């Protein structure tokens, strides 16, 4: 679950920092020796979908952010938490532009 909280914080941070790349394709960032590759989209009902994988092991993640709640999967684990738990988790990341 800690990885999922970090992913939400990171995806939210890079959506704000580099919004132009979201529509063009994948975004990436590095953390703790892994590279995370993901796309964000928004549903008609206003939920944010964050989907991607972690390299080098290609562990998939799919998260839905709706209001203050996050649900989805990270690897083979179901995750659910409040967005407040993700605050501050984005520190120490390195952005990679594509």
Residues 6+ apart with CB under 8 A from 9: 86, 87, 88, 89, 90
Read off the pTM: 0.64
- Region of poorest pLDDT, from 6-20, 50-64, 79-93: 6-20
Q: Which two tokens stand for residue 71?
A: 């649900």
The residue among 79, 42, 89 whose CA lies nearest residue 59 is 79
- 56/23 Cα distance (integer angstroms): 24
Q: What is the pLDDT of residues 27-64, one digit of tens each?
A: 888 878 888 889 999 999 999 999 999 889 999 999 99
Pairing verdict, β 27-31 and 34-42: antiparallel
Higher pLDDT, 22 or 60: 60
């Amino acid at each position: 679950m800690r990885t999922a909280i970090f992913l939400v914080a990171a995806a939210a941070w890079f959506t704000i920092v580099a919004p132009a790349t979201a529509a063009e394709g994948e975004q990436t960032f590095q953390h703790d020796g892994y590279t995370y590759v993901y796309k964000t989209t928004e549903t008609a009902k206003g939920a944010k979908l964050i989907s991607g994988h972690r390299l080098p092991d290609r562990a998939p993640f799919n998260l839905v952010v709706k209001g203050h709640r996050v649900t989805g999967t990270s690897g083979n684990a179901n995750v659910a938490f409040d967005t407040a738990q993700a605050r501050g988790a984005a520190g120490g990341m390195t952005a990679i532009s594509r």
